[in-house]
Structure 1
Amino acid sequence: MTRFLLVRNIPAGGSRRAVARAARAGGAVLAVCLSSLAALAAAAPAQADDAAQPVRAVLPTPGGLSSLARIAVPSGQPVELLEAVVEEHEQEAWLILRYLAPQIVRDGGGGNGFDHEASAPDLDYLCNSEGVREFDARARQGAQIHQVVVTMLNRPLERGTSDPDVIQFNEAYRVEDGACMMEFY
């Protein structure tokens, strides 16, 4: 699995520390100096077992995805890119796009949040806009992506871990003729 950590807010003069920390964790790094990354850099573990999962800081991704801006989605809820990863699943490459959507709520949660039904058009939109753009960019680089998975989370969660308090909406798509087609299992 290739992990892309979308890095932002690296403080001037602090980028060497952030790059060194990521390199010790086994990653190749491309970093951009913006403002303050102290919390993110300090949170990057530098343990020996992290070397098995290299971290690559990318800003922006091959398709131009960036974690710097809020993404306008049909529902109007705030959404930001957390990460873009390519994973191998049963001899297929999947492009995983993970987004922070802090106002999503469990179905039937009521209140002022966005449940899965209200967020479904956003998931489709994210695939058809950012997902297709990233899919095409990676295809031009020779990657053969078989599926695009779009995930919205109400708060950041490391991929592959679980937390019952984190709400996640996931949809899987295949890209055909420049459009996302939902995969049904």
Structure 2
Amino acid sequence: MMDLRRLIPAILILSGLSACQDEAPAPDAISVPSGRALSLIEVVTNVPGPEGATARFRFLAPGLKPEEAAAAQDDMQVLCDEYALPRTSGMVPAPRQIIISLSAEKVPFGQAAPGVVQFFEAYSLQDGACMWEQF
């Protein structure tokens, strides 16, 4: 029978090694100018927008505050250019518009949530780039 007391130091060493290794960033790590930690809630493609086929990329932005609108606008431009636009390749039908939204809390798509800070921006696709559209 194996003496478990001999295995304990080896187990501790192995567990310590795995804890010390740097974790690789997630393949879809999202970096924005504000440095805010974001996560993708969902992508909605089955609801047309005013321009026709639309891809909506909805992001969770915990702690988002109303006074952060300018920083959020910069973040959303980067999200459109660097995150959303590359992911629309191959979508059928091809979206004519991308809508980026940031929300302080998860809110089901299409439901009103007056107490939750949310920002939305719409972008047309021109020459392979996201062009901001004023609502």
TM-score, length-normalised on structure 2? 0.73
Q: Is the 8 A contact 2:30 2:83 kept in 1?
A: no
Matched, 1:160 2:113: no
* Code of the aligned partner of 1:78: A
CA displacement at 1:76 relative to structure 2: 0.3
Counterparts of 1:123 and 1:89 in 2: how far apart (Å)? 18
Q: Is the 8 A contact 1:154 1:168 kept in 2?
A: yes
Between the aligned residues of both structures, percent identity stands at 29
Query: CA offsets, 1:12-53, max 9 Å, x none?
Result: xxxxxxxxxxxxxxxxxxxxxxxxxxxxxxxxxxxxxxxxxx
SS in 1 for 2:70: helix
Greater Cα radius of gyration, structure 1 or 2: 2
Q: Is the 8 A contact 1:104 1:154 kept in 2?
A: yes
What are the within-5 Å matches in structure 2 for residues 42-121 of structure 1? Answer: 70-86=29-45, 87-89=47-49, 92-107=52-67, 115-121=68-74
Matched, 1:184 2:117: no
CA displacement at 1:137 relative to structure 2: 3.1
Q: Would the alpha carbon gap of residues 91 and 147 (structure 1) be closer, same or farther in structure 2, given more than 3 Å must change? A: closer
- 2:77 corresponding residue in structure 1: 124
Q: Number of paired residues?
A: 109
Of 130, 133, 145, 2:95 maps to 145
SS in 2 for 1:137: coil
Q: Is the 8 A contact 1:104 1:167 kept in 2?
A: yes
Q: Which structure is richer in relative contact order (CA contacts within 8 A, separation 6 or more)? A: 2
SS in 2 for 1:175: strand
Of 126, 136, 147, 2:89 maps to 136
Structure 1 runs of 4+ off > 6 angstroms?
A: none
Unaligned runs of 5+ in 2: 1-25
Counterparts of 1:132 and 1:91 in 2: how far apart (Å)? 16
Counterparts of 1:116 and 1:80 in 2: how far apart (Å)? 18
Unaligned runs of 5+ in 1: 1-66, 108-114
Root-mean-square deviation (CA, aligned residues, Å) is 1.9
SS in 2 for 1:128: helix
TM-score, length-normalised on structure 1? 0.54
Q: Is the 8 A contact 1:74 1:121 kept in 2?
A: yes
